[in-house]
Homo-oligomer: A and B are copies of this chain.
Amino acid sequence: MKHLDSRLRQLTGYRMRRAMLPVLARVNDILAPLGLRRPTFSALIIIGENPGMQQVKLAELLAMEKPNLVQVIDDLEAAGFVERRRCAEDRRANALFVTDLGERIGESGLAKIVEFEAQCMSEFSAQEIETFQRMLDRVGQNARQSVAESKD
Closest CB-CB distance, A136 to chain B, in whole Å?
A: 4
Residues of B within 8 A of A10 (CB): 114
| With known contacts A11-B114, A21-B63, A24-B13, A46–B139 Cβ distance under 8 A | no
| With known contacts A4-B46, A124-B135, A12–B146 Cβ distance under 8 A | no
Interface residue tally of chain A, by bracket? 35 or more
Contact: B22 with A147, CB < 8 Å?
yes
Residues of B within 8 A of A53 (CB): 4
Within 8 A of B (CB), among A1-49: 1, 4-8, 10-27, 29, 42, 45-46, 48-49
- Does A142 lie at the interface of the complex (its beta carbon under 8 Å from any beta carbon of B)? yes
Within 8 A of B (CB), among A92-126: 110, 113-114, 116-117, 119-124
| With known contacts A140-B21, A147-B22, A6–B49 Cβ distance under 8 A | yes
The 5 closest A-B pairs by CB, nearest first: A19-B140, A22-B143, A22-B144, A120-B142, A19-B136
